[in-house]
């Protein structure tokens, strides 16, 4: 079974025209990832390819278009996790990498460490041909006219390939106007992402809230004694109990998708074998 689910952030999007464009882009990202799976690529190849589409699109808070911190700088976080061997690559406080998810993958596959930050992470990436972008690449028109709340456009993907590998990937510019040095949930295993041999999950929303309930890993407290869908629902209920605001997407080894959020909406798209086109909505 080949399957992929992608999200483009949970939040309270207001501009209807921009909502439909963003739904279209998450759909394209899911198709890109699914195409990689169909061509025999791994779940890791597919999840990273899908996230890259969203990082390159300035409508999302990841890669180009990342929110700025209080000093007007970009500080990006990303992570990748392989559900078969539980290897993790996470990065935080990245300024100049065009596709942070690729750097996270390189950390997962080439570094003895799980988590690198800032200059050390960027230096590490140089050895493996990671592409850098000038600072002006990240500053977009949209950032100057931010139209949403202070969270909402992080991106993520979970893919399942024919071999049964589940990979979760996430990328974010963090929250708008954040303190210099602030790191949210996204690069923290268990909070922003999780994958093992039965399911994968990626969260989005206010990182400070997501960490309180370790939202992505939390699903495993309920799964498999509950369905994936019920497990996601219970995890979001737990988040609501601590007044948290976020969403989560999940995919299990049988290709079941689930998602939940207590924000107004969450951009998401998914496709698997047997579906002609992705289901995409906000």
Q: Which candidate in 154, 172, 175, 263 is catalytic?
A: 154
Least gap, CB of 55 to ligand ASP (angstroms): 13
CA separation for the pair 186, 83 (Å, rounded): 17
**Is the CB of residue 193 less than 8 Å from the CB of residue 199?**
no
Shortest separation between residue 6's beta carbon and ligand ASP, angstroms: 14
- Quote the least distance from Cβ 2 to ligand ASP, whole Å: 26
Pick 152 or 190: Cβ nearer ligand ASP: 152
Is 178 buried (19+), middle (13-18) or exposed (0-12) by CB count in 10 A?
buried
Smallest distance from ligand ASP to CB 120, Å: 20
For binding to ligand ASP (CB under 6 A), which residues are involved?
9, 61, 151-154, 172, 174-175, 184-186, 204-207
Between 34 and 217, CB nearer to ligand ASP: 217
Query: Cα(266)–Cα(268) distance, rounded to whole angstroms?
Result: 6
φ and ψ at residue 5, rounded to 5 degrees? -130, 140
Please state the closest distance from residue 34 (CB atom) to ligand ASP, in A. 23
Rank residues 9 and 65 by Cβ distance to ligand ASP and give the closer one: 9
CA–CA separation, 268 and 265 (whole Å): 9
Pairing between β-strand 199-205 and β-strand 115-117 as defined by DSSP bridges: unpaired
154 in catalytic set: yes
Nearer to ligand ASP by C-beta: 45 or 75? 75
Cβ nearer to ligand ASP, comparing 30 with 154: 154
Preceding amide of 224 cis, omega within 30: yes
Which residues are identified as catalytic? 154
């Amino acid at each position: 079974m080949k399957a992929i689910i992608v999200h483009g952030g949970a939040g309270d999007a207001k501009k209807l025209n921009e909502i439909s464009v963003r739904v279209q882009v998450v759909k394209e990202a899911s198709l890109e990832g699914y195409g990689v799976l169909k061509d025999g690529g791994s779940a890791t190849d597919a999840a990273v390819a899908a996230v890259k589409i969203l990082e390159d699109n300035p409508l999302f808070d990841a890669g180009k278009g990342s929110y700025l911190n209080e000093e007007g700088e970009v500080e990006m976080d990303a992570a990748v996790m392989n559900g078969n061997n539980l290897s993790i690559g996470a990065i935080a406080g990245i300024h100049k990498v065009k596709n942070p998810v690729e750097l996270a993958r390189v950390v997962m596959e080439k570094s003895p460490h799980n988590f690198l930050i800032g200059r050390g992470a960027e230096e590490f990436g140089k050895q493996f041909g990671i592409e850098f972008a000038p600072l002006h690449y990240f500053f977009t028109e949209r950032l100057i006219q931010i139209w949403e709340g202070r969270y909402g456009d992080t991106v993520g993907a979970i893919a399942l390939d024919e071999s049964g590998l589940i990979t979760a990937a996430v990328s974010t510019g963090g929250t708008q106007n954040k303190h210099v040095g602030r790191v949210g949930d996204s690069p923290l295993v268990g909070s922003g992402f999780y994958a093992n041999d039965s399911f994968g999950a990626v969260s989005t929303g206010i990182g400070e809230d997501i960490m309180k309930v370790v939202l992505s890993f939390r699903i495993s407290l309920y799964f498999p004694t509950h369905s994936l869908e019920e497990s996601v629902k219970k995890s979001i209920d737990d988040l609501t109990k601590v007044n948290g605001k976020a969403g989560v997407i999940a995919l299990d080894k049988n290709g079941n998708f689930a998602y939940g959020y207590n924000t107004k909406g969450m951009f998401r798209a998914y496709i698997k074998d047997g579906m002609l086109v992705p289901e995409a909505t906000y």
